[in-house]
Amino acid sequence: MSDSILQSVKHDLSGITPDYTHFDPDIIRDINAALVVLHDLGVGDEIKEITDGTETWEDLFGTDKRLNLIRPWLKMKVQLVFDTSLSGTTVEAIKNQLSEYEWRINELVDP
C-alpha cells in the first residue's frame, strides 16, 4: 500500500482502488476537515492540508510516533463522513474508538 495519505484513506474506504479518482475531491475535502480537528486536538503548530495524492504521512507528521494513532484516527474520521452505508452499530463503534484516540492524542501532545 502507498504511503500517500489519500491512497491509504481510499484503501480503507471499502477498498477504493488508487486508479479510481472520481471521489478524490470529496475525500481530500474530508481529510482536510479532519486535519483541522487534529490541529484543534493539539497536533502541530499549524493546520496541515493535502491537495492531491502526493502528500505522505511523513510529509505532514515527520517520524513522530503519534502517527501510530493519527493514521487510524484520520481514516475512521473520514469514513464516518464519507461512507453513508455504515450500520448504526458500526457508526457507534467507530465513534467510541475515535473518542478514545482523541483522548490519547490529546494526552500525548498536552500531558
Distance CA 52, CA 10 (A): 12
Which residues does residue 56 pair with via DSSP β-bridges, in sequence order?
4
Is the overall model pTM greater than 0.75, yes or no? Answer: yes
Contact 31, 47 (CB under 8 A): no
- What is the structure's pLDDT at 111? 67
Q: Tens digit of pLDDT per residue, the chain (111 long)?
A: 458 999 999 998 877 888 999 999 999 999 999 999 999 998 888 999 999 989 999 998 888 776 789 999 999 999 999 988 889 999 999 999 999 999 999 898 886
- What is the structure's pLDDT at 50? 96
Q: Is 68 exposed, middle or buried (0-12, 13-18, 19+ CB in 10 A)?
A: exposed
- What is the structure's pLDDT at 61? 87
Q: Where are the domains of the chain?
A: 5-109
- What is the structure's pLDDT at 26? 96
CA 61 to chain centroid: 12
At which residue does the C-alpha cell 484503501 appear? 11
Taking the alpha carbons of 40, 44, 45, 47 in that order, is the dihedral positive or negative?
negative
